[in-house]
Amino acid sequence: MRYLLYFLPFFIAHLSFSETRLEYWDFNTDLSGASFDNGTGGIKNSGTHASLWNHGKVPGMVANGTGQFVINGAGSAYRKVAASGFATGVKTTGHYQLIIEFSAWNLDSTSKGALGFEVVDTSGKRVVALHLYPESAMESKIRLSAVSATGYEGRGYDYAGHVSSLVTNAPTRVIIDFNLDTDTVSYRVNGSQLKVITDFSATSLSHLKLFTDAKWSKQNSVSIDSMGLVKLP
């Protein structure tokens, strides 16, 4: 047993460093008001690619100076990263995770607007995605999707959903785990696996998108602890 205890820290350390953050934001050192400004003053990309966003600041999408990125503006807004494609080029192989860690949200039940995070391919088509929106007068929904050879009702995308309250301060960690080599995807929320699909049909990854649509209400507020794209061994 003592030999197991001796090697356990090394094993845990190996697990901790087995992933590579390609594009990642944790907002821990970002000043209040930092947005998508590239270079000095913008939210800091700590990933190995450290890619730049395609445009500048968005009112209502800014760091709060205490470790969160807060989205509370109205209407449509759109940003992508990397602006000119990933630093190492288009990705056609590999195992990845899109990770979003929410710290809180407060959604307007009368709004039909959505907040979206997407990984897209070279043609601009979404590969995997997370959308957060009001589902009803009492509930919000996180809808997860991935491009699929068959898809729901033959529409080319597979879906899973996680329902929560309209207002929550409970941390919510969402992972879409997807593999271009094995054509598999799993959806996870707070460590629980919602679904696995085995006919994932993506062939390339080009960039990430973050957006709110035209129906997004100024009464909505979403706080994010961290977000990004991770590569697994």
Alpha-carbon gap, residue 181 to 233, rounded angstroms:
12
C-alpha pair distances (Å), 167 with each of 98, 139, 140, 189: 24, 8, 8, 17
Residue 50 makes CB contacts below 8 A (sequence gap 6+) with: 23, 87
Helix (H, G, I), strand (E, B) or coil at 16: helix
Per-residue pLDDT of the chain (233 residues), as tens digits, is 444 444 444 344 344 458 999 999 999 999 999 999 876 679 999 999 999 898 889 999 999 999 999 999 999 999 999 866 776 778 999 999 999 999 999 999 999 899 999 999 998 899 999 999 999 999 999 999 999 998 876 679 999 999 999 999 999 999 999 999 999 999 999 999 999 999 999 999 999 999 999 999 999 999 999 999 999 99
Residue from 146, 140, 51 nearest 98 by CA: 146
The confidence score (pLDDT) of residue 15 equals: 42
Alpha-carbon gap, residue 63 to 222, rounded angstroms: 11
What's the whole-model pTM score? 0.90
Long-range contacts of 126-132 (CB under 8 A, 24+ apart): 126/209, 127/178, 127/202, 127/204, 127/205, 128/98, 128/176, 128/178, 128/185, 128/202, 129/176, 130/98, 130/100, 130/174, 130/176, 132/102, 132/105, 132/107, 132/222
Note the pLDDT of residue 17: 53
Q: Please, what CATH class does the domain formed by 20-232 belong to?
A: mainly beta
Distance (Å, whole) CA 184 – CA 210: 23
